[in-house]
A and B are shown apart, each in its own frame.
Chain A
């Protein structure tokens, strides 16, 4: 089974509430779930939708074909009716839409009337709709009841009871009236976790001991601040909304200087304002993690939509030369672990680390069996307390073999912690002489960089270990490229190469094991490879990017000299779909 539900309507109608609740019911029932949202930059009105795909096998992207449309407005029908599958149904309330549809693929359920009658308030119409969808799918309501109890317990027993009755009314109505419903979804196993990209970054930050987050709200990064602000009291995190992004990064640098792990987050436009601070982090060797959510630009662009066009901006921006680390997770799971790695590397090497994502990953919900906390790395690289107090001497920017100087917590010792945005000496005081300058650049950049490079993991290989066709992606295209490879590997010798640790660009001589194909090829154990050899040997290499100019392809060429044979670029502000990507891939593969 593999069903897709689309909930469409105006902003403010509760699309997200219905979507979130249904997705949670499915994940708790053990299904694999993928959700994604499409919304306009407005608070009320317009047309928005929330799409949920759930299946008994892993899913990692949305499909074009819809099985159930929950239409909260007429546009949901006119815009999406054509996406309906053969046995698909549109469920709606004719009294709300003020229109009756007579064709057999429509199911008219009086959401509002049932809400008033059974729940006691028309506001519960969305709960009726949620219950109705579960009725259509013949899924029992016990999980939904738990969610309702949890969500509304603060609002009192009456509200909980009203919502439960409303859900039951919708459920019963659908079971009784939906004679054309042929769906069958039997819960399969233990509950799975359901998490979005932004929540995964936030959770990764908490798990890394992040104590300070300052930011200015900007889509698609705001979710991180919301998440951390909600968790601040429980996990000891100060979240400060700054007056602008310049202040946001400087506050985080101040916090980091004072001795705590600090982070900021923004979108491309806000990051542009942070760039001066990025350079300051480089010069003062102050650890910082920056979450950079891409959205279609230039300038304000398409604020609520998706693009991968800030890669070269992130790798190249800021005045001067200093090391930086850039990760581009492809899934919420990768976002969780890579946020942790970003913190670890930022603290260890005293450099800025950037986690680059996009609206698509930010707002997509994925299911996983679990996140493994034992894989979380936490080393306090700072010198604090008695250790600092009892040190034999201290220079903040001391020359060392590794280029890494001791990072003391100011105030914990008689030794002073001094740093400067001007070029400085080992003590941190302003200097102008050439000799010290050279030594500082060597320390800050040339000594640290090779060590940082050693820690960058190579891309993951999925599919054939000796592929004739190699599809390359980075960041949020992971899911769609992987599923495209799944489809094509039935007839082709094909693999995906996915880059999530992007900068410094991975060394080619590292040899990890590729992920085995489900069909069994390559499953016999480790297969050694270096990605450049693999690329050179492949007959057809295609780089997939959600941007117009092929930024990753350019970076690849600059770093390794390798040039892709073909590129597939999408820059309409929307994510790739399996059907769309497959069509384009077929054209290129057909030429082989």
Chain B
């Protein structure tokens, strides 16, 4: 068992009021409530304000490159599938720089939990448009407004039959915690897109803006109906659904690889005595 004290990390260097604080709090609460200890999981994070998250708690950490969280997380899981692996990235990080990796991680169905801090703007580089910025948003780099259509990560994920797709809101911590728990407990690749206000650079998608729009999906909503889920995924604007939007029970990659069926790779010792056989094949 763990306590909140076990998860106390460095003092965050985020702006006061940053949506990341809500995510950090929900994350710690999730771990404590699930009884997970810091050494029992690994956070792989990218670059951006979200990428700093593991430094502000306690856990095994691989804080890698911008956009490259999922390949690293995949490598860790394939080598040790007894380790819980959570990838933490921002919207620019995961949907921009790392878009290709996201598509293929969802296809593989590697049992990695992906939490995307989606603030619809670039924070670390100071206010440029991100893939999820609203069309028309004016920034220093996009003085005529964003021309590209806003990426819909939820619809993208459902289209690729991602095993678990959810959306949370950093301003709704209790609900976010439940989504984090569900994501961790789900067997399969999980995308949790977390709407997160950037108090410094995003003056459009503020706490107020989100609060007026987000709602929890109805209790009778069935996330296992892919067509209904896709309809739900297309909802954006006046009303933004949060909760588990879609899930399925596809087999995970780790269970399909015969080599690691019985034992994680990292626990398999190296048997040098068998090398003679490999050599013989060349005669």
Contact = CB atoms under 8 A, between A and B. Distances in A.
Given A242-B71, A247-B100, A250-B68, A259 B80 contact: yes
B39 interface: yes
A258 B74 CA distance: 11
Contacts of B279: 193, 203, 370-371, 373
B103 A254 contact: no
A443 to B, nearest CB: 18
B101 interface: yes
B283 interface: yes
A193 B280 CA distance: 8
A411 interface: yes
A417 B38 CA distance: 10
B16 interface: no
B259 A232 contact: yes
A195 interface: yes
Interface residues of B, number: 54
A287 interface: no
21 contacts: A192-B283, A193-B283, A194-B283, A199-B282, A206-B278, A211-B79, A211-B268, A237-B259, A247-B101, A255-B75, A260-B79, A262-B79, A276-B65, A376-B275, A410-B39, A411-B60, A418-B54, A418-B61, A419-B62, A419-B63, A422-B63
Nearest to A254: B75
B1 to A, nearest CB: 13
A411 B83 contact: yes
B265 A236 contact: yes
A566 interface: no
B135 interface: no
A417 B54 CA distance: 12
B145 interface: no
Given A259-B266, A416-B60, A420-B63, A251 B74 contact: yes
Interface in B69-103: 70-80, 82-83, 100-101, 103
Interface in B242-283: 257-260, 265-266, 268, 270, 272, 274-279, 282-283
Give the bracket for the number of chain A residues in contact with chain B.
Answer: 35 or more
B79 A212 contact: yes
Interface in A496-537: none
Interface string A235-255: 111101011101110111111
A35 interface: no
Given A194-B282, A247-B104, A257-B62, A207 B79 contact: no
A-B pairs with the 9 shortest C-beta distances? A254-B75, A250-B71, A254-B72, A258-B79, A209-B270, A251-B75, A410-B60, A255-B75, A247-B71
B55 interface: yes
Contacts of B55: 420, 429-430
A231 B265 CA distance: 15
Given A27-B283, A211-B270, A421-B63, 19 more contacts: A28-B283, A193-B279, A211-B265, A212-B75, A238-B78, A238-B260, A253-B72, A255-B265, A257-B72, A276-B68, A280-B64, A373-B272, A373-B276, A414-B39, A418-B61, A421-B65, A429-B55, A430-B52, A430-B55
B42 interface: yes
Nearest to B10: A429
A415 interface: yes
B50 interface: no
B157 interface: no
A527 B49 CA distance: 61
Nearest to B61: A418
A571 B6 CA distance: 61
Interface in A375-426: 376, 378, 380, 384, 409-411, 413-422
Contact of A193 (B71, B73, B277, B282): B282
A260 B259 contact: no
A191 interface: yes
Contacts of B268: 211, 236
**Main SS class of interface, A:** mixed
B28 interface: no
Interface string A262-288: 100000000000001100100010000
Contact of B64 (A193, A212, A250): A250
A420 B75 contact: no
B60 A418 contact: yes
B282 A416 contact: no
Nearest to B84: A411
B47 interface: yes
B282 A254 contact: no
B184 to A, nearest CB: 16
Contact of A253 (B54, B70, B75, B265): B75
Contacts of A250: 64-65, 68, 71-72, 75
Nearest to A418: B61
A152 B20 CA distance: 62
A428 interface: yes
A254 B10 contact: no
Contact of A254 (B38, B61, B74, B260): B74
A233 interface: yes
Contact of A246 (B58, B71, B272): B71
A529 to B, nearest CB: 34
A286 B282 CA distance: 33
A214 interface: yes
B59 interface: yes
Contacts of B101: 243, 246-247
Contacts of A433: none
Contacts of B283: 27-28, 191-194
Interface string A295-312: 000000000000000000
B80 A411 contact: yes
A234 interface: yes
A254 to B, nearest CB: 2
B62 A251 contact: no
Contact of B60 (A27, A253, A370, A417): A417
A451 to B, nearest CB: 25
B72 A243 contact: no
A533 B37 CA distance: 61
B154 interface: no
B116 interface: no
The winner among A191, A251, A380, A428 for most chain B CB atoms within 10 A is A251
Looking at A238, A248, A380, A417, which has the most chain B CB atoms within 10 Å of its CB?
A238
B61 A258 contact: no
Contacts of B260: 238
Interface string A194-215: 1100010001001101011010
B71 A378 contact: no
Contacts of B265: 211-212, 236, 238, 255, 260
B62 A284 contact: yes
B75 A214 contact: yes
B228 to A, nearest CB: 30
